[in-house]
């Protein structure tokens, strides 16, 4: 047993230059640190990210209240607890907060403590973080994930209204994670070359997740270029495509609007069908808006047997919404973001419920990220088969890919590579 002596948070910056929390869980002979990520296309059912609202600091985005909650009430409550009792720690914080959506203490405060405690637990158990996560989640083995790489950014991550948010590639037909990552990165660079040739240096500006943001107004035009980059690099039939539409961002009560064009739910599904046919798309995330359950049911009914239908804003890593979605057959895969629900324990429960329903689980970053690579260990420890960590560029994204490369090397022959 190793007791927590203190928990200390400080205000630092995320990849968008917005304030966030660094949390330190301090034991007798260790300081375990976490950094808290932050979304832009945030689902309305997510746990609440507590911001100060004081316009005089960071335009109201400061996190001093959340930090104060860590340094006072949370620290006092956790002092003396065994850092290896992850579930107890998380449950205590949930109780201390007492709200449905963690709005009293702030999900950003709670998740930072939860992740740092998990790292402290691993350290004192003399385990690597992914091994410790395997143990506390009850997972049976390790595997390196198939990466979904977001190489062209749109929507909120690029400052564009009524737009598809993420155009991703999935290197599926490879033997190891490192080969898949290399191939995906080569496509990313080839895409950059094509864009530069076509649009000059304006064509290779980057969005929040490190993908390019060229001035191409239609989805077909974007996917055609990605397809060409895949073909030029010789990865035809080895690398496929995926979209995160983030459709809550372009839903207007009963219709959707992409790039000035309106779509009924049925027309939107037809639009997706056309894209799937033309571009080898094997996964669509948030193809419908977060509370448009009928739209989701229809989408999954028409496409769920052919491709992966991923729920992000729909599910918000919440077991109640996952249960509803399995009952309604609304999708067939979970996007897992620890800060959407607020604790490691609850995120593990969400993943386990999804596995029980034979869903795929995609462990995901946020558009506002940090140097913390916690989710790389999480995806391996959970043995979930896919990651979504953005483009293979910019340090807040590569921190996760580099950690996966390191884990792959450490595991050697024991490193299984996931199948799609």
As annotated, the active-site residues are 209, 337
Of residues 154 and 381, the one with the C-beta less far from ligand 2PG: 154
Nearest residue (beta carbon) to ligand 2PG: 39
Select from 24, 139, 317, 367 the one that contacts ligand 2PG (CB under 6 A). Answer: 367
Q: Give me 186's structure tokens.
A: 């080569």
Contact 342, 36 (CB under 8 A): no
Name the one residue in this structure whose structure tokens are 């009924």: 264
State how far the Cα of 167 lies from the Cα of 164, in Å rounded to an integer.
Answer: 8
Biggest CA-to-CA distance, the chain: 61
| Among ligand 2PG, Mg ion, none, residue 367 binds (CB under 5-8 Å by kind) | ligand 2PG
Of the candidate spans 39-47, 62-70, 258-266, 399-407, the one that interacts with ligand 2PG by CB under 6 A turns out to be 39-47
- CA–chain centroid gap for 61, Å, is 21
State how far the Cα of 13 lies from the Cα of 364, in Å rounded to an integer.
Answer: 20
Strand-pair category, 308-311 with 333-336: parallel
Radius of gyration of the chain (CA): 21
364 near ligand 2PG, rule: CB under 6 A: yes
| Among ligand 2PG, Mg ion, none, residue 27 binds (CB under 5-8 Å by kind) | none
State how far the Cα of 384 lies from the Cα of 180, in Å rounded to an integer.
Answer: 16
39 near ligand 2PG, rule: CB under 6 A: yes
40 near ligand 2PG, rule: CB under 6 A: yes
H helix runs in 239-311, sequence order: 265-279, 293-303
Select from 5, 366, 397, 403 the one that contacts ligand 2PG (CB under 6 A). Answer: 366
Of residues 49 and 312, the one with the C-beta less far from Mg ion: 312
State how far the Cα of 370 lies from the Cα of 13, in Å rounded to an integer.
Answer: 8
Site string for ligand 2PG, 225-264 (x = CB under 6 A): -------------------x-x------------------
Shortest reach from residue 365's CB to ligand 2PG, in Å: 6
Query: Contacts with ligand 2PG in 269-288 (CB under 6 A)?
Result: none
42 near ligand 2PG, rule: CB under 6 A: yes
Shortest reach from residue 154's CB to ligand 2PG, in Å: 11
Select from 22, 312, 372, 377 the one that contacts ligand 2PG (CB under 6 A). Answer: 312
| CA angle (40 as vertex; 39, 45 as ends), nearest 5 | 70
| Among ligand 2PG, Mg ion, none, residue 52 binds (CB under 5-8 Å by kind) | none
Query: Contacts with ligand 2PG in 374-413 (CB under 6 A)?
Result: none
Half-sphere exposure of 50 (CA within 13 A, CB side): 25
Q: How many other C-beta atoms are found inside a 10 Å radius of the C-beta of residue 153?
A: 28
Contact 67, 106 (CB under 8 A): no
Of the candidate spans 85-93, 100-108, 345-353, 365-373, the one that interacts with ligand 2PG by CB under 6 A turns out to be 365-373
| Among ligand 2PG, Mg ion, none, residue 349 binds (CB under 5-8 Å by kind) | none
């Amino acid at each position: 047993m190793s007791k927590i002596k203190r928990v200390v948070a400080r205000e630092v910056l995320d990849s968008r230059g917005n304030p966030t929390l660094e949390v330190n869980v301090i034991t007798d002979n260790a300081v375990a640190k976490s950094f808290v990520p932050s979304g832009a296309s945030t689902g309305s059912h997510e746990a609440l990210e507590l911001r100060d609202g004081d316009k005089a600091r960071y335009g109201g985005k400061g996190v001093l209240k959340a930090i104060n909650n860590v340094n006072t009430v949370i620290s006092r409550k956790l002092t003396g607890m065994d850092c290896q009792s992850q579930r107890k720690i998380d449950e205590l914080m949930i109780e201390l907060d007492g709200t449905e959506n963690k709005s009293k203490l702030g999900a950003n405060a709670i998740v930072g403590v939860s992740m740092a405690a998990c790292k402290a637990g691993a350290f004192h158990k003399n385990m690597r973080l992914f091994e410790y996560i395997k143990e506390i989640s009850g997972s049976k083995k390790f595997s390196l994930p198939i990466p979904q790489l977001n190489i062209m950014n749109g929507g909120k991550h690029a400052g564009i209204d009524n737009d598809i948010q993420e155009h991703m590639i999935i290197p599926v037909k490879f033997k190891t994670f490192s080969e898949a990552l290399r191939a995906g990165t080569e496509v990313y660079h080839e895409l950059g070359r094509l864009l530069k040739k076509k649009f000059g240096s304006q064509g290779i500006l980057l969005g929040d997740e490190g993908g390019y943001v060229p001035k191409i107004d239609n989805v077909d035009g974007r996917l055609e270029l990605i397809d060409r980059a895949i073909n030029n690099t010789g990865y035809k039939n080895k690398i496929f495509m995926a979209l995160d539409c983030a459709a809550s961002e372009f839903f207007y009560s009963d219709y959707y609007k992409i790039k000035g064009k309106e779509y009924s739910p049925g027309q939107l599904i037809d639009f997706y069908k056309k894209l799937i046919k033309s571009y080898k798309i094997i996964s669509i995330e948030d193809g419908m808006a977060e509370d448009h359950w009928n739209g989701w049911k229809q989408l999954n009914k028409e496409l769920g047997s052919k491709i992966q239908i991923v729920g992000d804003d729909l599910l918000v890593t919440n077991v109640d919404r996952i249960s509803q979605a399995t009952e309604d057959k609304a999708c067939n895969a979970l996007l897992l973001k620890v800060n959407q629900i607020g604790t490691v324990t609850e995120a593990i429960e969400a993943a386990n419920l999804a596995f029980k329903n034979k869903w795929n689980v995609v462990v995901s970053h946020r558009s506002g990220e940090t140097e913390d690579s916690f989710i790389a260990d999480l995806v391996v420890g959970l043995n979930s088969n896919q990651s979504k960590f953005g483009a293979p560029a910019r340090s807040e994204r590569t921190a996760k890919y580099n950690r996966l490369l390191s884990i792959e090397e450490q595991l050697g022959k024991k490193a299984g590579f996931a199948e799609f």
